[in-house]
């Protein structure tokens, strides 16, 4: 994913003496984005598993 690559690059570019305030802003921004994507992914998985365990038939959306 793009955000994972950005996060990895931000980590690789951190100075030896630790992150600057601007680095922390960038890292936090990317982490919030990754968190949102993961929450959506897990919510979709839970919805799919709930549907599978319910035994209901699939309804196609036009």
Could you tell me if residue 60 is inside a domain?
A: no
- What residues contact residue 31 under an 8 Å CB cut-off, 6+ apart? 7
Could you tell me if residue 62 is inside a domain?
A: no
Structural domain for 41, as ranges: 2-53
Q: What percent helix, strand, coil does the chain show, rounded to 5? A: 75, 0, 25
Could you tell me if residue 61 is inside a domain?
A: no
- CB 3, CB 28: distance < 8 Å: no
Predicted model pTM: 0.71
Could you tell me if residue 59 is inside a domain?
A: no
Could you tell me if residue 21 is inside a domain?
A: yes
Q: Count of domains in the chain?
A: 1
- Quick: pLDDT tens for 13-55: 999 999 999 999 999 999 999 999 999 999 999 988 888 888 7
């Amino acid at each position: 994913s793009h955000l994972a690559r950005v996060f990895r690059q931000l980590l690789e570019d951190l100075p030896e003496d630790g992150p600057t305030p601007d680095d922390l802003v960038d890292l936090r921004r990317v982490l919030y984005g990754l968190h949102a994507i993961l929450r959506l992914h897990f919510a979709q998985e839970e919805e799919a598993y709930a549907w599978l365990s319910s035994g209901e038939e699939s309804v196609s959306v036009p």
